[in-house]
Structure 1
Amino acid sequence: MKKMAIMSLFLFLLIIPLAACGQQKEEEVKKIRLAEVTRSIFYAPQYVALAKGFFKEEGLDIELTTTWGGDKTMTTLLSGGADIALVGSETSIYVYSQGTNDPVINFAQLTQTDGTFLVSRHKIDNFSWDQLKGSTFLGQRKGGMPQMVGEFVLKKHGIDPHKDLNLIQNVDFANIANAFASGTGDFVQLFEPTASIFEREGKGYIVASFGTESGHVPYTTYMAKQSFIHKNKDAVEKFTRAIYKAQQWVESHSAAEVAKVIHPYFKDTDLSIIEKVVDRYKSQGTYATNPILDEKEWNNLQNIMDEAGELPKHIDHKTLVDNSFAEKAMAK
């Protein structure tokens, strides 16, 4: 009995430090509330980071919320409803221009081109941009990045969107595809996977890429309030490192492999469509291969905004961009 009592005491003493160790490890896990502007294959590396456990490897527990719209996403971030937001960089410029003591800082880039495509109602074998003149063009919401890029590209090809087209841009984002499918417009600017689905169903035909035409821009980036970054530098660095791992994984794997990994986040979309979309985005360099947001991209973004008459004022790259976390992530 005495021997059994000693053994029991030994096991009890052994369990205490193991339990404490487990509790310590649990406490080390940092919860990050992440708000994404929409759910899109456009953000494939993010879902790879989640599915492959790259955030968990860094000791981060990601609570992902889809906030459906740039304004709503930024409101969620500014009000403290999220720690980090995935949204267009132009939103950080709008916030800063309104005056703030706690600016929103871009610290990691996810996509580096526009994600929309020009879709024609009829098949065109030899497309040229001047074929849009005199047509009815169903564009995106005024002031949004897709519309600004759309106008920038049209002007680049000598088309005045407000004089040479019957431009429709008062249709709500969620209803643009349905409006086109119902017969509105000769051309429409669409995101994937809708563009590819329309092509498969014979409702429209992709004739050009706005992303290819507009060049590299910080289209969607991870950002957080300056105060959050200062208080959570270690977590921001870990978050950025997980994203970089995912960017490298997407770059080094086939569209089919990427599609299979992210499919759980798009259960209502056919796997073959996801693969096609990923392949299209990969081939045109939409997915950034590292989290760096360089000055050239930043200035191109502001040129596009200025061309559309939506730039409140020019903001220096160093004011709203912090590449230090991306540089550290890449160094390791």
Structure 2
Amino acid sequence: MNTYNASIKPTAYILPVKEEFPLKNKLKTSLFSLFSIILLFSLAACKDNGEEKKETVKPVRVAEVTRSIFYAPQYAAIEKGFFKEEGLDIDLQTTWGGDKTMTALLSGGADIALVGSETSIYVHGQESRDPVINFAQLTQTDGTFLVSRKPIDNFNWDMLKDSTFLGQRKGGMPQMVGEFVLKKHDIDPKSDLNLVQNIDFANIASAFSSGTGEFVQLFEPQASMFEKEGKGYIVASFGQESGHVPYTTFMAKQSYIKDNQDTVEKFTRAIYKAQQWVQETDSKEVADVISPYFEDTDASIIAMAVERYKAQESFALDPILDQAEWANLQDIMKEAGELDSFIDHQTLVDTSFAKEVSK
């Protein structure tokens, strides 16, 4: 009796337990499935958001006419993340010369060019169907310095007479400004000195270093490097002599600006942020930030060059290319014999983006 009752109790007790496990398993399975679905949707949403963010990053190919500390705000805009903040990914290439830079822009090898504004006038003179438009100014004075082979305590521009002077490429802003300044000091570049301007832009510094010429027109950091190495001595600034001029400007084909207005505005805003940052920041800190672009140049030289450019207001404080600067540019071009007729400001300059971001 006891054995029977004992065997019945476990059986009666076990039956509900067998019924309970399938229910729990079903519930666990349902919850797991639900959790999996939620997780998959979450991952998909994250992926979609990631892809959406990735898609909003706009690549922009920029061709700069040369690599110079003169363009410090551009490098600062990249290194400080100002372009990145605007959703732009900058692909920077150095094209070494105005003709090569403009070729890259016109052929579609670059979206935006950083080059002298005179190049847009040359393209306009060829009656291009897709003119090149200046939309953001980076520098507002000439960026070259007059370097003498020997130290001169009391420099006078008359000292250039009867000398051999290594100028820049004919028709380019450095050369035109150089001639403009010489004439300002009653020196005829064609008859009062031996003007050498058949040396390729990238080789002018090395030509002077090897012994050619008594004076040379150089950008930074070459000018300060020569001074430190005892190869030359800065005796004057063409930027201080020439006044404000749209020396280097960001420009693009009219069709690109029309199809990418949002991108152009973001680009200009990043440049404006960089212009303000460079102006408000100690030159040594600016030098530290842009040093990756000048790996072979001593940090003290970079800082010295930045300070020189800031002192003579070479870095534009905003990206607006105004009418007075445009007129000064054409006066210089006309004096150099490179301009047949004046071109209205609004024909090749669009200040709408610069004015919008500078508000």
Q: What TM-score, normalized by structure 2, do the two folds share? A: 0.90
1:169 deviates by: 1.7
User: In 1, Cα distance between the equivalents of 2:173 and 2:72?
Assistant: 19
Residue 301 (structure 1) aligns with: 329
Residue 68 (structure 2) aligns with: 40
1:99 is paired with a residue whose SS is: coil
Residue 224 (structure 1) aligns with: 252
Residue 158 (structure 2) aligns with: 130
Residue 358 (structure 2) aligns with: 330
Where does 1:141-180 land on structure 2 (aligned, <5 Å)? 141-180=169-208
Q: Would you say how many aligned residue pairs link Structure 1 and Structure 2?
A: 331
User: In 2, Cα distance between the equivalents of 1:64 and 1:203?
Assistant: 31
1:48 deviates by: 0.4
1:308 deviates by: 0.6
> Which 4+ stretches in 1 moved above 3 angstroms?
none
User: In 1, Cα distance between the equivalents of 2:203 and 2:109?
Assistant: 27
1:203 is paired with a residue whose SS is: coil
Paired residues of 1:110 and 1:222 also in contact (CA < 8 A): yes
2:43 is paired with a residue whose SS is: helix
- Paired AA for residue 299 in structure 1: A
Q: C-alpha deviations, 1:240-295, integer Å up to 9, x for none?
A: 00000000000000110100000111111111111111111111101111000001
Structure 1 residues 5 and 219: CA distance shift in structure 2, 3 A: same
Residue 61 (structure 1) aligns with: 89
1:190 is paired with a residue whose SS is: strand
2:316 is paired with a residue whose SS is: coil
Where structure 2 has 5 or more consecutive residues not aligned to the other structure, the ranges are 1-27
User: In 2, Cα distance between the equivalents of 1:93 and 1:307?
Assistant: 15
Per mean C-alpha deviation after superposition, the further-off stretch among 42-51 and 4-13 is: 4-13
Paired residues of 2:96 and 2:201 also in contact (CA < 8 A): no
Residue 309 (structure 2) aligns with: 281
Paired residues of 2:169 and 2:198 also in contact (CA < 8 A): yes
User: In 2, Cα distance between the equivalents of 1:201 and 1:320?
Assistant: 42
Please say if 1:207 is aligned against 2:235. Answer: yes
Paired residues of 2:96 and 2:202 also in contact (CA < 8 A): no
Please say if 1:239 is aligned against 2:267. Answer: yes
Please say if 1:93 is aligned against 2:118. Answer: no
1:5 deviates by: 2.2
> Whose radius of gyration is greater, 1 or 2?
2
Across the aligned residues of Structure 1 and Structure 2, the Cα RMSD in angstroms comes to 1.1
User: In 2, Cα distance between the equivalents of 1:11 and 1:139?
Assistant: 68
User: In 1, Cα distance between the equivalents of 2:228 and 2:256?
Assistant: 45
Paired residues of 1:94 and 1:312 also in contact (CA < 8 A): no
User: In 2, Cα distance between the equivalents of 1:174 and 1:65?
Assistant: 15
Residue 5 (structure 1) aligns with: 33
User: In 1, Cα distance between the equivalents of 2:122 and 2:209?
Assistant: 33
User: In 2, Cα distance between the equivalents of 1:246 and 1:200?
Assistant: 29
1:261 is paired with a residue whose SS is: helix
Paired residues of 1:97 and 1:312 also in contact (CA < 8 A): no
User: In 2, Cα distance between the equivalents of 1:103 and 1:149?
Assistant: 24
Paired residues of 1:137 and 1:168 also in contact (CA < 8 A): yes
Please say if 1:266 is aligned against 2:255. Answer: no
Paired residues of 1:97 and 1:313 also in contact (CA < 8 A): no
Where structure 1 has 5 or more consecutive residues not aligned to the other structure, the ranges are none
Q: What TM-score, normalized by structure 1, do the two folds share? A: 0.97
User: In 2, Cα distance between the equivalents of 1:325 and 1:134?
Assistant: 47
